[in-house]
Chain A
Amino acid sequence: MGIVSPGFFGRRRQGDPALPPGQYLTESFPVLSAGPTPRIAPEEWEFTITTETGQVHRWSWDEFLALKQDDVTQDIHCVTSWSKLGTSWRGVSLDTLFESVESDCEFTMAHSYGGYTTNVPLDDLLGGKAWIAHEFDGEALEPAHGGPARLLVPHLYFWKSAKWVRGLELLRQDEPGFWESNGYHMYGDPWREERYW
């Protein structure tokens, strides 16, 4: 299928311990576009966490920015084979957002403006492993890269870091999201090359 070209823009850095198997290093920040880019004004934006009982925890943009902010530097790995090392983000840890949330669920579905979904186990969002990021490299996150805010789960392939995220739904059982329902791996660990079913 020649029209979709994995591994573009890259060069292999052999033996780099920060590079998962099958990945190439890029200095750019490729944009993978699956549809029209949503443009969400801050006054329209909200983020929700919905529990299995239907309880909705809700943050407006201003309430979200008033939460404790983390500055993190992370390597990111796209399933199309590029990796970008040492990327700088600012955002709110999911640990902070889940402080007031009570749930017995082990799984989540991330929902985005524009309709995209992706499934992530709750354990992979907690313990300092995931953020709702709204700045990249010291600047407001551009819409093309998921602004105003995206999920950032850097230890999984980057399709799990849902752009334009608007909420998390807690699930008792794991369910496939947008790409997971059509060929992509349910978990997506780059170090195990969990790209596809």
Chain B
Amino acid sequence: MTDYLDGNAAAGPLSEFFAIDVTTARGRCLHCGRTDALATAQLYPNSHGLLLRCPGCTEILLRLVDTGDTVCLDLHGLSFVELHRD
């Protein structure tokens, strides 16, 4: 049993920030360069916030912390996010 879920499960919490379901977008890991749909990332939900980790190198792609009054999104682990219009 793994500690994490599929990145698909991050779609709801991230919908507060993005007009589209950003988990369907492709993101490039800043650390190893792997480019894949965010839905394939590893989601660690039982933490102090929501963490998406790269399925290739397990480095952090994205952090989301909900403090009640604010939601803090850190995208520094993604060097780009690509969305196809189809």
Contacts and interface: CB of A to CB of B under 8 A. Distances in A.
A150 B47 CA distance: 17
Q: How large is the interface on A (under 10, 10 to 19, 20 to 34, 35 or more residues)?
A: 20 to 34
Interface string B39-81: 0000111111111010000101001111111111010000000
Contact of A35 (B44, B45, B72): B44
A34 B70 contact: no
A32 B48 contact: yes
A195 interface: yes
A32 B45 CA distance: 9
Given A1-B13, A2-B12, A35 B58 contact: yes
A182 B48 CA distance: 10
A191 interface: no
A3 interface: yes
B44 A181 contact: no
A124 B10 CA distance: 36
B68 A196 contact: yes
A34 B51 contact: yes
27 contacts: A1-B13, A1-B66, A3-B9, A3-B10, A3-B12, A3-B45, A4-B45, A4-B46, A4-B49, A4-B66, A32-B48, A33-B3, A33-B4, A33-B46, A34-B51, A35-B53, A35-B58, A79-B48, A179-B48, A182-B65, A183-B70, A184-B48, A195-B67, A196-B67, A196-B69, A196-B70, A197-B67
Nearest to B16: A1
A50 to B, nearest CB: 24
B47 A182 contact: no
B74 A33 contact: no
A54 interface: no
Interface in A1-32: 1-4, 30-32
Contacts of B45: 3-4
A47 interface: no
Contacts of A48: none
Please name the 4 residue pairs, one residue from A and one from B, whose CB atoms are nearest each other, closest first. Answer: A183-B65, A196-B67, A183-B72, A1-B66
A179 B66 CA distance: 12
A184 B74 CA distance: 13
B72 A2 contact: no
A195 B66 CA distance: 11
Contacts of A36: 3, 58
B46 A31 contact: yes
Contacts of A30: 46
